[in-house]
Structure 1
Amino acid sequence: MTFKDWISYLIKRMIWYMETPRTERKAIKASTREPWSVRWFGMIPFSMKMYVDKQRSRLRGGTSEK
């Protein structure tokens, strides 16, 4: 990537940033970002949370499975 390409890329990004409303930028950022636990450790924390939630609901009498 040459210096000229790099400058043109930066200018395009800056123009996009200035033209898009703040709320839209925040919405895009929030929709693309994943939780830090998934980002650092993958699906393991998510699966453990699902398991714990299921056990809690079972112990509280949520659904009666036989």
Structure 2
Amino acid sequence: MSANDYVKYVTQQIVKYMDTPKEARKQLREERKNVETSSTFYSNRWFGVLPFSLKLMLNKRKK
């Protein structure tokens, strides 16, 4: 990715952000926050994938 492509992308994102109404941005932020907290495990978020993989291995051995 060249520098011009990056500047073009950043400019498009800024213009897109500025064109959306404040209420729509606030609603989108709230939706993203709710989805993020419900779909991820806290251990995965804090410590990475390693605790999640260990948990899966232990559950598999129990069965």
Name segments (4+ residues, structure 1) moved above 2 Å: 38-42
Which residues of structure 1 form unaligned runs of 5+? 43-66
Shift of 1:39: 4.9
SS in 2 for 1:24: helix
Structure 2 CA distance for partners of 1:39 and 1:26, relative to 1, 3 Å: farther
What is the Cα-based RMSD across aligned positions, in Å?
2.0
Render the CA deviation track for 1:1-48: whole Å, top value 9, x for unaligned.
Answer: 110000000110010111101110111121122228x35335xxxxxx
Which runs of structure 2 are paired with 1:1-66 in the superposition (5 Å)? 1-33=1-33, 34-35=36-37, 38-41=40-43
TM-score normalized by the length of structure 2: 0.53
* Aligned length in residues: 41
Q: Provide the identity percentage.
A: 24
The corresponding residue for 1:61 is none
The structure with the largest alpha-carbon Rg is 1
Which residues of structure 2 form unaligned runs of 5+? 45-63
Which has the higher relative contact order, 1 or 2, with Cα contacts under 8 A spaced 6 or more apart? 2
Structure 2 CA distance for partners of 1:40 and 1:27, relative to 1, 3 Å: same
